[in-house]
Amino acid sequence: EVKNLEEIFEAKIARDEKIEPKDWMPEKYRKTHIRQMSQHAHSEIVGMLPEGNWISRAPSLRRKVALLAKVQDEAGHGLYLYSATETLGISRDELYEQLHSGKAKYSSIFNYPTITWADIGAIGWLVDGAAIINQVPLCSTSFGPYARAMVRVCKEESFHQRQGYEIMLTLCNGTEEQKQMAQDALNRWWWPSLMMLGPTDDASTHTEQSMKWKLKRKTNDELRQQFIDQTVPQADILGITVPDEDLKWNEETGHYDFGEINWDEFWQVVKGHGPCNKERLQTRVNAWENGEWVRDAALAYAEKQSERKVK
């Protein structure tokens, strides 16, 4: 019977039909979705921290309003993705436990510090820019709840990217010192943004299977090339320089050639040894522990309400 179910599943994938939570699916399909979707959710939640650092110090009311809205969107994306992951039969508590114990991964990019206001511009421009490139193909991923979540998430990411690029534009049209700040932020965020799209295809453990299941619709290297091709002309408009001496337009391929990525740094950060890993995790654990009384109170209230209904 499993063989039959597997054939139905494979046929659905081949026809580009969505797999829904109650449909039969191979155990490995379920597991790898829980892995990728929960890591994605954790990334959104941890991803609030580097920018949250600047909400109280945004340079104007308008900047503060936009940044607040952006960070709130990220919370929404995280909660949306946790709900979608729960449809695969894992509880929210288990997912949080995996994050707080350090067992689950979240994106390497959020382990870098935000030391000047220009970093907020660079995150919107580069990090959200890379996120959009990664997530637009996920709108047609094979698992229904993930695909549907991505449609809304991508619309919001597009606002986030413009928000960041506009900060960069303003700084680059400002004083020499402001332009320097923008250049410095580009210098520090460029390479980590390239790493964010994952290891090269030949070093990627999951790409081959995930492409077959149409979980991934493009490989890490394809997405990275697309990101570079799209972003370099934007740096030109800003009038700042991408920190890669080997970056060169290749007439033949119609793409930019680029320099060697420091994969050693990437794996160090992924393994927990980046500049802010400990701080990020500790902040999340503290938020969870400090919020315990709220969860307890909400539960106690819900119990009291249901008791009243019984009587």
3: three-class secondary structure by DSSP: helix
CA dist 284 and 45 (Å) reads: 9
The stretch near ligand FAQ (CB under 6 A) out of 101-109, 224-232, 244-252, 285-293 is 101-109
Structure tokens that stand for 59 in this block: 């340079």
Give the DSSP per-residue string, 188-223. Answer: HHHHHHHHHT-S-GGG-SSHHHHHHTTS-SS-HHHH
Structure tokens of 33?
Answer: 């979705």
Q: Kindly state whether residue 131 participates in binding ligand FAQ, applying the rule CB under 6 A.
A: yes
134: contact with ligand FAQ by CB under 6 A: yes
Between CA 169 and CA 177 the distance in angstroms is 14
Q: Round to whole Å and give the CA distance between 219 and 200.
A: 9
By beta-carbon distance, which residue lies closest to ligand FAQ? 47
Number of residues that bind ligand FAQ (CB under 6 A): 27
Structure tokens at 75: 């919370």
Q: How far is the CB of 245 from ligand FAQ (least distance, A)?
A: 24
44 binds ligand FAQ (CB under 6 A): yes
Single-letter amino acid code for the residue at 70: K
**At residue 249, what are phi and psi to the nearest 5 degrees?**
-70, 130
Distance in angstroms (rounded) separating the CA atoms of residues 66 and 121: 12
Which one of 114-122, 177-185, 199-207, 232-240 is the stretch in contact with ligand FAQ (CB under 6 A)?
A: 199-207
Q: Which is nearer to ligand FAQ, 208 or 296 (CB)?
A: 208
In angstroms, the CA 139 to CA 142 distance is: 9
Q: Does 49 bind ligand FAQ (CB under 6 A)?
A: no
Nearer to ligand FAQ among residue 179 and residue 228 (C-beta): 228
Q: Which of 85, 98, 108, 225 binds ligand FAQ (CB under 6 A)?
A: 108
Nearest-approach distance from CB 128 to ligand FAQ, in angstroms? 5
DSSP letter at 116? S
For position 35 contacting ligand FAQ by CB under 6 A, the verdict is yes
In the window 203-242, what residues touch ligand FAQ (CB under 6 A)? 204-207, 210, 220
- If one asks whether residue 196 binds ligand FAQ (CB under 6 A), the answer comes out as yes
Taking the complex as a whole, the smallest distance from the CB of residue 137 to ligand FAQ amounts, in Å, to 9
Q: Which two tokens stand for residue 210?
A: 């995930």
Which CB, 74 or 244, lies closer to ligand FAQ? 74
d(CA 79, CA 85): 10
Nearest residue (CB) to ligand FAQ, 121 versus 199: 199
Residues forming the site for ligand FAQ (CB under 6 A): 35-36, 39-40, 43-44, 47, 74, 105, 107-108, 123, 127-128, 131, 134, 196-199, 204-207, 210, 220, 270
